[in-house]
Amino acid sequence: MDDTLEFDYAEMLHHISVVVSDDCLRSEMVDGVPIRKLFVSNLAERTTFKDLRTYFSMYGNVESCYLRRNQGKSNYAFVTFTKVADAVTAMQDGSRKRIRLHNRDLRVMAADSWHQPDSTEQRLYTMGKDSTKTCERKLSTEQYVHKYLQNDTENVSIHMLNDDCLRHIFLFLPIIDRVRIEIVCKRWRDLSQDSWHMIKTLDLSPSTWGFTYTHTIRTALLRKILLKCGRFLTRIKLNDPIHYLSQSTLTVIGKLCPNLTNIDVTALTVCASGIRTLANNCRNITKFNLGPSTYSCDNELKCLFKLNQNLEYLAITRNNILGKCLLCLPAQTMHTIILDRCDYLQDTHLSMALKELENLNHLAINECIGITKHTLEVVGQHCKSLRTLELDGDFPSAQTADMLYLIHLVNLQVLKITYNPKISDDFLTDLVQHCQQLTNVDITGCSNVSDVGLTAIATLVRLEKLIVSYMHQITDDGLKNVCGLKELECRRCLFSDRGMTTLIQSSPELQLLDLSGCRNIKDPTLEVAKDVCNSRTNNVMLKMIVGGTAILTKKEIGQERLPPLLHIVHVDLSDIGSVSNTCLVDELDSWYDGDSDYTEYSDYIEYSDYTDYSEDDIYCREPDELDHYSDY
């Protein structure tokens, strides 16, 4: 019975590892390269090279074995098999904890694609050991160009341009074409490679790469491009939630991009070694966006923050940090901190850090369930410079009275407290008496706010933007004193034509009115909007989003004769999911003016038994399209 349970447990672990791994363990390929080299960690101190080779020989012929004794950390090794099937079998047994040597379960995984013996890099590296490497590559170049370019390139008009003109033209090419032109001729290759130094920003957008499905880009391909331009980059943006990038990506970025100042890796799941490599190589970071990590990386982030004393902006999303690292943030330069869904964030650490960050201008704490009274008290007493405060979600450990600490933020201009049942009419009444600088208020989903609280907000003389969506206790009575707005968003509220027409007439600068899902809004509101816009002399356009209301249908609106300063959008933004909502809002922009002992393979990339390749040795390829370029 116990044996059966143990076997089932091992099978479950294997299934989980298959799901979460970047490269499926059953696959014989990694980034399109056959797997023959394995990374082996968690080795005992007494394990020798001979022990490893003998043990893994049970799976098949071992071509080579490299053992690294790592002072202060567990040793690791690379084992290369002659046959792919033997390597895959050993890798699968390792994932099921079936490889045990000297009382330790060895961790076995595929080495990165650029370390595999059959990769293009390794073939070039092997060629490089030959003293005639340069001559061979020059000959290869001439043969390749002669095969694919039969015409006399000197007679082509573009070759009449001087080097500066060609270099400037190359700057407008996407990455895929930059790589392609390197095979045209030696002059183009030299100019193209020279032009890489003018690239300062890299992201995964189709316009940057030159093909649509950029989410299929893997770490191996990204690394090839960074070998060309990494040392020149100052900004890298990897925030696309759909991607094939592995945990070792941040380690690669840290090694190849030492001059980065702006890093956004929100979409990556990073490991400790990636942050450690970043800290060791990048000392000029001013803006850092971090996503999930394999475990709490507080110690590594401590080091990163200490070594980057010019850090100004920090955003951490879905990470399991405890918050100790926040104590090492540079107090003089930090102006923005955004903490989003950090479930393990401890109130004690955050509050201690905020006490030192008295120059903070923007603080956002979204759905961090560990926040209690202490943090709210520190924010109110020590963060007097705050201009923007965002608190999203209910803080279960805080009380309604604890929110009153926030009324002491007299310099606040933007306040966003959403989906928080602790926000009451009394809180808003006290808030507006102290925070008269407020221009932007968002209380979406605060279900306990009634017309009393909305009436209090209406007394703010500088108020320009108000968001009161999904609130069912506010009516036209609360809206009657609101005037002078530039933007109002009130999705799925109970407002009627009476309150909305009054608002439109009393807000001559109104630019955006989002009425999505307000079923009580009918044609009289549209008629008043038409009259107001016809009489406007300030040339301010009013955009009304009326999907989900009782106003004319989309077809009928298309037949209406609207004044030039009125734009009607028949889209219901209250009736779609958050993801689709975000995408749709992006499309609507044109309407707006305005400490673990777990050992990972990437921990040892910097100690790899291979020499780094220069940019001259590597050629990039587009997935499934430029394979013949990668072999060159």
| pLDDT, tens only, 597-620 | 334 444 444 433 333 333 333 333
Four-way CATH pick for 28-118: 3.40.50.970, 3.30.365.10, 3.30.70.330, 3.60.21.10:
3.30.70.330
Residue 606's pLDDT is 40
Q: How confident is the model at residue 595 (pLDDT cuts 50, 70, 90)?
A: very low
Residue 578 has pLDDT above 90, yes or no: no
Residue 28's pLDDT is 78
Distance of CA 140 to CAs 143, 144, 617, Å? Answer: 5, 6, 13
pLDDT digits (tens, 9 = 90+) for 526-557: 999 999 999 999 999 999 999 999 887 755 66
Residue 123's pLDDT is 63
pLDDT digits (tens, 9 = 90+) for 217-238: 888 889 989 999 999 999 999 9
Residue 16 has pLDDT above 70, yes or no: no
Residue 154 has pLDDT above 60, yes or no: no
Q: Where does 383-540 have alpha helices with state H? A: 425-434, 451-457, 476-479, 497-505, 523-535
98 vs 8: CA distance, rounded Å: 13
Angle between helices 163-170 and 186-195 (to 10 degrees): 60
Nearest to 440 by CA among 594, 585, 560: 594
Residue 506's pLDDT is 92
Domain segments of the chain as ranges: 28-118, 163-197, 348-363+374-463, 483-575
Would you state the structure tokens that stand for residue 587, as one six-digit string?
A: 């499309």
Tell me the pTM.
0.75
Under 8 Å CB-to-CB from 203, ≥6 apart: which residues?
Answer: 236, 237, 238
Residue 420 has pLDDT above 60, yes or no: yes
440 vs 306: CA distance, rounded Å: 34
pLDDT digits (tens, 9 = 90+) for 87-143: 999 998 888 888 899 888 898 988 888 788 887 666 655 555 554 444 544 445 445
* Residue 625 · residue 211 · CB < 8 Å: yes
Residue 598's pLDDT is 38
CA of residue 447 relative to chain centroid, distance: 31
Mean pLDDT, range 244-248, rounded to an integer: 87
What superfamily in CATH does domain 348-363+374-463 come from?
Ribonuclease Inhibitor (3.80.10.10)
Q: How confident is the model at residue 157 (pLDDT cuts 50, 70, 90)?
A: low
Would you state the structure tokens that stand for residue 130, as one six-digit string?
A: 């030959």
SS3 (DSSP) at 8: helix
What is the enclosing helix (H) or strand (E) of 202? strand 201-203
Residue 324 has pLDDT above 70, yes or no: yes
- Give one word for 296, left, alpha or beta, with left for phi > 0 and alpha for psi -120 to 50: beta
- Separate counts of helices (H) and strands (E) for the chain: 23, 23
Residue 158 has pLDDT above 80, yes or no: no
pLDDT digits (tens, 9 = 90+) for 346-379: 999 999 999 999 889 999 999 998 888 999 999 9
- The region of weakest confidence among 402-411, 453-462, 513-522, 549-558 is 549-558
* Residue 425 · residue 405 · CB < 8 Å: no
Residue 269 has pLDDT above 70, yes or no: yes
226 vs 613: CA distance, rounded Å: 11
pLDDT digits (tens, 9 = 90+) for 475-486: 999 998 898 999
pLDDT digits (tens, 9 = 90+) for 43-91: 988 899 899 999 999 999 999 999 988 776 778 899 999 999 999 999 9
Under 8 Å CB-to-CB from 362, ≥6 apart: which residues?
Answer: 335, 336, 337, 338, 386, 387, 388, 389
Percentage of the chain beyond pLDDT 70 is 79
Would you state the structure tokens that stand for residue 200, as one six-digit string?
A: 């300062």
Nearest to 460 by CA among 424, 498, 499, 414: 414
Residue 121's pLDDT is 64
Residue 559 has pLDDT above 80, yes or no: no
CA torsion sign, 111 to 114 to 120 to 125? Answer: negative
Percentage of the chain beyond pLDDT 90 is 50
Beta strand residue intervals within 368-422, DSSP E = 388-392, 414-418
Residue 146's pLDDT is 46
